[in-house]
Structure 1
Amino acid sequence: MTRPPFSALLEARSHDPFGTLGLRRDGNAWLLRVFQPHAQAVAVEWLAADRPGVPPDCVGSDSLRRVDAAGIFEWRGRLPDGLTAARPQYALLIDEGKSGRAAQCQRIRDPYAFPPQPPADDLYLFNEGRNCQSHRLLGAACGIRHDGVDDLDDTASEWAHGVPGVTFRVWAPNAERVSVIGPFNRWDGRVHQMQSLGASGIWELFIPHLAAGTLYKYEIRNRGSGAVIVKSDPYARQFEHRPATASRVVDESTHVWRDGGWLGRRAMRDWLHAPLSIYEVHAGSWMRHVDGSFYGYRELSERLIPYVLELGFTHIEFMPLMEHPLDESWGYQSTGYFAPTSRFGTADDLRFLIDACHRAGLGVILDWVPGHFPNDEFALAHFDGSPLYEHEDPRLKYQPDWGTHVFNFGRNEVRSFLLSSAHYWLSEFHADGLRVDAVASMLYLDYSRKAGEWLPNRHGGRENLEAIQFFQELNTMVHREFPGALTMAEESTAWPMVSRPVHLGGLGFSMKWNMGWMNDTLDYMQKDPVHRRFHHQRLTFGQLYAYSENFILPLSHDEVVHGKRALLAKMPGDDWQRRANLRLLLAYQMTMPGKKLLFMGGEFGVPHEWRCNEELPWRLLDDPCHAGLQALMRDLNRLHVSCPALHELDFEAGGFSWIDCHDSEQSVISWLRHARDGRCLAVVCNFTPVPRHGYRIGVPQAGVWREVLNTDSTYYGGSNLGNGGVGGLQAVGSWMGRPASLVLDLPPLAAVVLEPAD
């Protein structure tokens, strides 16, 4: 039996609805075919050609004949006199009235009057894996259609310049049919079937008169299995509030940026030799309203920015703000790679927050997760009914630690997707950098996998060659397109040259987290001081590799969750000793070579593990001991920024030299930090609760030295033992091969910082 020409439409299997629907010539006549499965009757209004500023007149109307009970309507005949355009304009009158109910008639423009005309160059680059702005090609874009052509920048009236609406494009190469669904079509996948753009794997449809705020999803029929699935848009700019998962159409931003001065200075900034102290924030639990509800992006700008400025940090790093369905994932299982989470407001609200940070002199770094994504049915997993963004082979597909899928970095379109996501956050939101999560899991094919559970690369090795290529392309793009922006790798192994340029064979990141320093330091600090002398190498070993990468010294959120205890709770001893140990740890971090990162709450000694579903215990600041910790963090940051010796040569061996790294018996270490102009600071740390009187260290010059910071000050909650005399300390007599020496009183569990007085 011969199938009618529109059977694919009726069965919701059409990849070429424009081949059947819309207005076309039919011999000497015209044929208009419409598929409206919910309509009782359909009529057409013929519209005169556009005249600037004047709505087109209706120059005639005709009723369409139902030719199939499922909702196919047709009109065949001659156009009214005066309609001579190659593509005549018309509107449809859809009557959905039912027996016993008032007529429900609506006037619409026919989506199938606007054939796809995608930019060929953008399609080509997307399929080649080299489209770094594919978010401008795919997704849902509000705009004006002119005789089938997009003009997304034109907001003039419909009748003067075209028809307003939304262009939808989605990549689903293994689909037999894709439809846009939403409340505008009763979530019915038969109504708005999209046009396949051939070998590109992309589908397109323009739907007139849809507006910003409209909810939508894609209904996809897999070509092989015939299974029908419903997905949110991978390129969506906004989503419904969780737990709902529909995508939302977003209009172009109306935010007016005022951070041009900041961006200009950033482009010229010598970040290798500049101070960098990062305050890591989880936006949902830093501070909340009394009723437990979130602060929005704009409210955070009022509270967070003054707080961070007062404490002297140079940057805020936000844990992922990309949309995610589960609060407890902290954002690290993203489903919206182009959508700020709606928990805290709109995209323009986030722009406002970042703009305010910049105008206040604060940089903003965003956590970004290109390594894996959750297997939620509504999102990326098996997007078109088959492995698409992920691998097909289970030995490459799964991330066992988190129960997630691994991106297929060898697929060109996936690289375009991820590169575009990075570009989007840096361009659309003026972010100053991206901290890339879980880099090690991406670099190693056998990461967290047992023998037989992973697939070697083409050379038989364990390195993920496609991920390496992706990182190099990512970092090349960021440094080329966004001068002064930083990329930071959370990488926990000894992979070489993570933060070395691509042209030298490196991965190209600006910096790398020093996980070895973090693990060694926290392991040492948790030891009872009486045993620390047996673990002295934990403090000194890091200098053997400290300049092999551009390191950040992190005390991050990962170290205060899942039974690891809060920083304060890790410290041994009674309450006084725990606080003294934490003050010592913070001073040790801030005076060692490397840029700095501290997770929120560590600055005032939160005693319990981080709780993502409640705000930080701000009431603790009523206690002078916790307020003293906060004051120390402020003074450490200010010292870090104001003293070139503490930041100019973080990544060069010439910026550091040991005074004495061998005094394990007394658990004391001392070192010098050097600036490019030769100025220096001396740092001495006593890791026992025993005061050391008359402790001698060698220094590079004679004369008066003064104590510029002492973590044992009563101002910070200490015992006030130190070297803060009015006349300072006199350096005389050589010691340990240095031309002069100082005799100090070392406070218990404390660090002192000294500098020449002249």
Structure 2
Amino acid sequence: MGQSQSVDPAQVEIPDLNKLLERDGYLNPYQYEMKRRYGLMLNFFEQFEKHEGGIDRFSTSYNKYGMHVQPDNSVRCYEWAPGAQQLYLTGDFNSWNREEFPYKKLEFGKWELVIPPNQDGSCRLGHLSKVKLVVRNQHGHLLDRLSPWATYVTEPDQVGHAYEQRVWNPPAQEKHKWVSSKPKKPDNLKIYESHVGICTAEQRVASYRDFVQVVVPRIVKQGYNAVQLMAVMEHAYYASFGYQVTSFFAASSRFGTPEELKYLIDACHKAGLYVLLDVVHSHASKNVLDGLNEFDGTQAGFFHDGPRATGSAKVSPVITTNTTALTLTRMPSSTSW
């Protein structure tokens, strides 16, 4: 799907714009820009309807992209890497043979791979096994990467090494079974903003289970009716407070597993707390080996190339406004959380 077409702001009608301008006259000088942006948004949605089956369908693309174990225990892998010459999947399941499992190239920068089950019918990629994507760039070099759609990424055993992507496919008995339904949305929110890792007085990173034991009873007693969890998305640099995101679809493994995060949310619901997740889309880590930066072997893709590649702080790369890349990084991540 290409870029949105240009629009003529004079031809754009914004519903109830006059009412808005009456309430806030300071917005009058910005009518042209407001109409231009509103028109671009309408074009944006029109392109989704035309090429992607609608925005609702496209915003759940996390169900398609990444690695997914099928009912027959085969594994279907799907990626978007327009700058790659070739894509491979490797891991401890094949003794890290980097070129044994090549992806098939599709149109529009998409790649697909299906790994059949073992002869006994079991999944070849076991629960918690380590995997990596291998990208052959346009210069023929092989580069190790993590899937942008990884759902479980863990700290390496050795300090200074890149984070490691793991297959998350626990047996049924280890999956969290939801007990409590989500409480009704309160008329007035009293939100307790919190960070799981610093919820204990001990000199360590706290866990999702620590939060349930230490924080939930206290904030209920204090009269809060909602809790906002910060730094939930995976981030290799802990001091970034979760704002330099490395894996947009993975819950931070420092605090526990995805099932333990579900346990925390379930416990909050049981206590009558509405749960808000602070999902960061305006920031990303500049990490290459365990982030989105240079994922397909180019500086573009998910980020701007050239002078616009980094923000003024030179800390995080600037996420591109290219239609495809924009939606692949942010929109599906919102709906998945």
Change (3 A) 1:288 1:338: farther
Distance in 2, Cα, partners of 1:423 & 1:204: 25
Match of 1:195 in 2: 104
CA shift for structure 1 position 284: 1.2
CA shift for structure 1 position 414: 2.8
CA shift for structure 1 position 219: 0.4
CA shift for structure 1 position 277: 1.7
Matched, 1:286 2:199: yes
Change (3 A) 1:408 1:261: closer
Match of 1:404 in 2: 316
2:232 partner amino acid: L
Q: 8 Å contact 1:375–1:405 — kept in the other structure?
A: yes
2:192 partner amino acid: Y
Match of 1:424 in 2: 336
Matched, 1:171 2:89: no
Matched, 1:255 2:176: yes
Matched, 1:392 2:319: no
Q: 8 Å contact 1:129–1:416 — kept in the other structure?
A: no
Relative to its length, the structure with more strand (as a share) is: 1
Match of 2:68 in 1: 141
Give the one of 220, 225, 250 matched to 2:139. 225
Match of 1:241 in 2: 155
Distance in 1, Cα, partners of 2:328 & 2:99: 30
Change (3 A) 1:406 1:130: farther
Change (3 A) 1:128 1:202: farther
CA shift for structure 1 position 294: 2.8
Change (3 A) 1:244 1:393: closer
Distance in 1, Cα, partners of 2:193 & 2:116: 42
Matched, 1:347 2:258: yes
Q: How does 1:144-155 map to 2 (within 5 A)?
A: 144-145=71-72
* CA displacement, residues 9-68 of structure 1 (integer Å, 9 cap, x when unaligned): xxxxxxxxxxxxxxxxxxxxxxxxxxxxxxxxxxxxxxxxxxxxxxxxxxxxxxxxxxxx
Distance in 2, Cα, partners of 1:330 & 1:285: 10
SS of structure 2 residue aligned to 1:399: coil
User: Where does structure 1 lack aligned partners over 5 or more consecutive residues?
Assistant: 1-120, 146-163, 426-758
CA shift for structure 1 position 140: 1.4
CA shift for structure 1 position 339: 0.6
Give the total of aligned pairs: 273
Match of 2:288 in 1: 377
Match of 1:16 in 2: none
RMSD between superposed Cα atoms in Å: 2.4
2:61 partner amino acid: S
User: Where does structure 2 lack aligned partners over 5 or more consecutive residues?
Assistant: 1-47, 118-123
Match of 1:439 in 2: none
SS of structure 2 residue aligned to 1:409: coil
Distance in 2, Cα, partners of 1:127 & 1:246: 34
Match of 1:368 in 2: 279
Q: 8 Å contact 1:322–1:337 — kept in the other structure?
A: yes
CA shift for structure 1 position 363: 1.4
TM-score by length of 2: 0.75
Give the one of 220, 224, 227 matched to 1:309. 220
Distance in 1, Cα, partners of 2:207 & 2:229: 14
Q: 8 Å contact 2:130–2:167 — kept in the other structure?
A: yes
CA shift for structure 1 position 400: 2.1
Distance in 2, Cα, partners of 1:186 & 1:404: 34
CA shift for structure 1 position 329: 0.8
Q: 8 Å contact 1:126–1:412 — kept in the other structure?
A: no
1:390 partner amino acid: F
Name the % identity: 28
CA shift for structure 1 position 402: 5.3
CA shift for structure 1 position 207: 4.5
Q: 8 Å contact 1:126–1:134 — kept in the other structure?
A: no
CA shift for structure 1 position 227: 2.9
CA shift for structure 1 position 127: 11
* CA displacement, residues 650-683 of structure 1 (integer Å, 9 cap, x when unaligned): xxxxxxxxxxxxxxxxxxxxxxxxxxxxxxxxxx
Q: How does 1:472-511 map to 2 (within 5 A)?
A: none
CA shift for structure 1 position 165: 3.3
SS of structure 1 residue aligned to 2:272: coil
Give the one of 229, 233, 244 matched to 1:322. 233
Q: 8 Å contact 1:127–1:200 — kept in the other structure?
A: no
1:168 partner amino acid: C
* CA displacement, residues 184-240 of structure 1 (integer Å, 9 cap, x when unaligned): 222222211111123352332325222221110100011x32232111111111012
Q: 8 Å contact 2:182–2:274 — kept in the other structure?
A: no
CA shift for structure 1 position 288: 4.7
2:313 partner amino acid: D
Q: 8 Å contact 1:129–1:413 — kept in the other structure?
A: no
TM-score by length of 1: 0.34
SS of structure 2 residue aligned to 1:358: helix
2:129 partner amino acid: T
Give the one of 52, 55, 63 matched to 1:125. 52
Q: 8 Å contact 2:302–2:329 — kept in the other structure?
A: no
Change (3 A) 1:128 1:357: closer
Distance in 2, Cα, partners of 1:363 & 1:346: 21
Deviates more, 1:180-189 or 1:229-238: 180-189
2:180 partner amino acid: D
Choose 1 or 2 for highest CA Rg: 1
Match of 1:184 in 2: 93
SS of structure 1 residue aligned to 2:62: helix
Distance in 2, Cα, partners of 1:188 & 1:129: 38
Distance in 2, Cα, partners of 1:245 & 1:237: 13
Distance in 1, Cα, partners of 2:145 & 2:321: 22
2:191 partner amino acid: I
